[in-house]
Each structure stands twice: as C-alpha cells, then as structure tokens.
Structure 1
Amino acid sequence: MSASLDSALDPMEEIRFRKKHGTMWIEMQKYTHFTFDELEQIMIIFFKIQKRDEKPAGSDLISRAHFRDVLHTGLGMTDAYMMERVMVALDRGTSPYVTMSTFAKAMSLYLRGDLEERINYAFTCYDLLGEGHLRRETMYQLMKKSLAKASRDDDVEEAVKELVDIMLKRMDVDLDGVINFQDFHTSVVNTPSLLESLGYCLPERPAVFSFLTTWCPTWGKM
C-alpha cells in the first residue's frame, strides 16, 4: 500500500516504521482477524499515538492512559470502573504501558472478535478476583457499579440484590451457587444478550462502525 495511511505523518517516517516492524506484523497477523494490510493500518494508529506519548526510549509501547483514550473517544467505552477491568482482561501485567501486540489483539477483538473470544474476554473482565467463577458478592459489586449511574443510592441496594438473584437463577447451570466459566459460556451461547449482563466491556456496533469509517475507510462495511 503506497499511499500514506495518515496524512499527519511524515511519509519517510511512516516508511521507516513499516520496514522496522513488517516481519513482526506477519507473526501478529496469525492471532488477529486482520489481513496484513489491515493490520498495517491498525499499527499506523498505534504509531500516531506513540509519537505523542511519553515512553521509554527506543521502546514500542504506548501508555495505558493513551490506550484508554482510544477506547473512550474512539470506541465509546466510557465506563471508568469497567475500563479498569478491561485493562486487566487485555493485559494481566502491571506495566503502565501497552505493547504493540496487546494493541493489535485488542483491536481485533473489538472490531472483529467472534462470540467465543468475546465470552472469554467478558468473563475475565467480570472475574474480579481471578477465581475462575463469579460469586454472588462479585456480581453484586459489578451490578451496583453499573446501576449507580442511573439510580439514586437508596434505590440501588434492593434492585441490585433482586437482579443478582435473577442472574444466578438464569446462569447458574450446575446449581452450585456460583457462575463458573462453563455456566457463563452456556448461558451466553443460548442467549447472546447475556454477554454484557454484568457490565459493558465491549464497544457498541455504532461505535465500531464510526471508528472504522474514521480510521480505516478503505475496509468498507463489516
């Protein structure tokens, strides 16, 4: 692709960036849903963010703060509490930086991820303690954070308790008092609308379409 993917970048700078990382992108393509040309465009977005970032010299990283800006402004993911969970789900490390690989995998998930990938990702977001299952207390915490925005404090407590009871009855397939991954998986496969039942951790389709139209107009409609 000879045309510059972003007119704000110096053409020679962009060429150097592509030459430096082209081999790496071939490997990265294996675990994304992008063609090489599409991945190249995603990496140009990464490069543009990187240019205005304060990062370790010579690194191929962007700050978590700037990555969250992309999710917030570019993909409409505005829930601050869930954003903390999202960062853990995407990158189990504690570094304040996001790697090129993590960025590519995240964009692949958000723009083209299949149901299996989204189920795994959503469950990881909700599994606050990394226990492999969701306890009543965990579900209560997640739902309370979600409902607190739309309700008065004195309305939230009882509503959340009722919702947790409903969700446990609906999703606790093996009736052991917790929702393990298999419970969650089975419930969502049968009723896909349950995928984000404990908090919004994925961009909505209009936001995805807007992102693609703005940043990747040559891709066409998904």
Structure 2
Amino acid sequence: MSASLDSDLDPMEEIRFRKKHGAMWTEIQKETHFTFDELEQIMVIFFKIQKRDEKPAGHDLISRAHFRDVLHTGLGMTDAYMMERVMVALDRGTSPFVTMATFAKALSLYLRGDLEERITYAFTCYDLLGEGSLRRETMYQLMKKSLAKASRDDDVEEAVKELVDIILKRMDVDLDGVINFKDFHDSVVKTPPLLELLGYCLPERPAVYSFLATWCPNWRKM
C-alpha cells in the first residue's frame, strides 16, 4: 500500500476511506486538473471536514457552511456578498450540503484552473439573473456592493454609474447594450485583468500558494 495519506488519520479509517471511495475518485479526477495522488490528498481535506460535520447518514457530503469556511480561512475569500454568488456558480442546487465532486472541482478551479474555466465561472458569478447576459442594472448592483466597502463616502451612486458606463464601452463588443458571455470572454482574453472587474470571486495567488504549502507541500511546483 502507498504511503499514508495523512498522519492524523487512523490507519483503519484511511483503509475504509480508500476502499469506499476509490472508484468514485477515478471518475471525479477526469473532471479536475489533479493527478490521482493529488486528488487523494484533496479528499483527505474533505474527510477531515466531514468527520466534524453534521450530515445525512450514508451521504458523502459536507455542509455549505464548512465549505465556505475552507474558502474563507484557507483561500482568503472573505467577501460575504460575493460568496453567495460563488456558491451558485459552483453548485446550482439548493441543498445545504456540498458533494465530494463539487469540492474537488472547486479546488481544481481555484488551484489549477485555466483562463477559459475562470472566465466561465466568473461570468456565472456575475450573472445574477441567470439570463446569460449582464445588464446595466446587474453591473450597477455588483459595483455598488464593491465600492460601498472600499469607500467611506455613503453616496457612491455617481461613481458607480460612471464605472458601469466605462465597463459597457469597454466590454460591450457587439454594442447591444448588455455584456453577453462572448463579449465578456473576448474582452478578458484580450485583457485578463478584466476578469474580476465586477467583484473578487477567485483567491489571490498568495492565498493559493499558502494553501498548497499548508495542505499539499509535496505537490509538484505549479
């Protein structure tokens, strides 16, 4: 048998854990950027959370609250408003629990995701109405939430309106008055810093490096 996944796990717990979920991990791995060994380490994190979580018996789930704790404390994603949108983008269901697959794919996105994946994810976070396009009102709401925290001025209305106008001029490629996915995609591919222009929905690189150093110190260098 390969080296122990984690020294804090009882050996018999680890054996049962591997036996129960090994086949599932093989399928999950295909939808991530992890090797199988790396995915095992990610699943150990999941298992540690699961052990202290209250969950339906027989289900391989953790609570959304504990998953958000991982994103908050482990990856520095602290924007409470945007976290609601993050959960929608990662898991469109209404269950208060997160599956192994969602957990693995989320960490794959945050730790190894390419620009195309991040564009799709960010657009979903910003598409508050699920219409496939970002209207002026949607962008106004997102920008107002962001600026209200960064500014001491209670009246940010005009500043937000001006920024939305600038964003539309910059990203509304087909000039139809809204930013559809193609507009967003093409603008970000051309200018990657535009990716999180409407709100921070991804961990910053220092947080990613810190997470890897803490939880996955034996991984190959990214």
Normalising by structure 2, what TM-score? 0.98
What is the rounded CA distance, in whole Å, between the counterparts of 1:60 and 1:154 in structure 2?
Answer: 45
In 1, the alpha carbon distance for the partners of 2:23 and 2:67 equals 24
Assess if the C-alpha contact under 8 Å between 2:62 and 2:99 holds in 1.
yes
Structure 1: distance between partners of 2:201 and 2:42: 21
Is the 2:143–2:199 contact (alpha carbons within 8 Å) kept by the matching residues of 1? yes
Equivalent position of 1:78 in the other structure: 78
Deviation of 1:153 after TM superposition, in Å, equals 4.2
Local SS of the residue matching 1:220: coil
Return the offset for 1:154: 3.1
Contact 2:136 2:164 in 1 (8 A): yes
Q: What does the per-residue CA deviation read over 1:28-60, in whole Å, with 9 as the maximum and x for residues that have no partner?
A: 111100000000100010000000000001110
Residues in 2 aligned to 1:8 and 1:54: alpha-carbon distance in whole angstroms: 20
Q: SS where residue 62 of structure 1 aligns? A: strand
Query: How many Å separate the matches in 2 of 1:149 and 1:130?
Result: 25
| Structure 1 stretches lacking a partner, 5+ long | none
2:53 and 2:63 in contact (8 A); partners too: yes
Divergent runs of 4+, >3 A: none
The equivalent residue for 2:180 is 180
- The two structures, once aligned, show a CA RMSD in angstroms of 1.0
Whole-angstrom distance in 2 between the partners of 1:145 and 1:220:
38
By how many angstroms is 1:128 displaced? 0.3
Is 1:207 paired with 2:207? yes
1:2 Cα deviation (Å)? 2.9
1: CA distance, partners of 2:206 / 2:199: 18
Identity across the alignment (%) = 90
Q: Distance in 1 between matches of 2:26 and 2:220?
A: 22
3-state DSSP class of the match of 2:56? coil
Quote how far apart the aligned CAs of 1:158 are. Answer: 1.3
Give the SS at the match of 2:155.
helix
* Pairwise CA distance, 1:8: 2.1
The answer on whether the counterparts of 2:148 and 2:154 sit within 8 Å (CA) in structure 1 is: no
Residue 90 of structure 1: how far off its partner (Å) = 0.3
CA contact 2:43–2:100 (8 Å) conserved in 1: yes
Q: Gapped runs of 5+ residues in structure 2?
A: none
Rounded Cα–Cα distance in structure 2 between residues aligned with 1:101 and 1:220? 23
- For 2:43, the equivalent position in structure 1 comes to 43
Number of aligned residue pairs: 222
Contact preservation (8 Å) 2:64, 2:97: yes
- Offset of residue 86 of structure 1: 0.2
- Alpha-carbon distance in 2 for matches of 1:83, 1:196: 14
In 2, Cα distance between the equivalents of 1:8 and 1:158? 54
| Distance in structure 1 (CA, Å) of the matches to 2:219 and 2:154 | 48
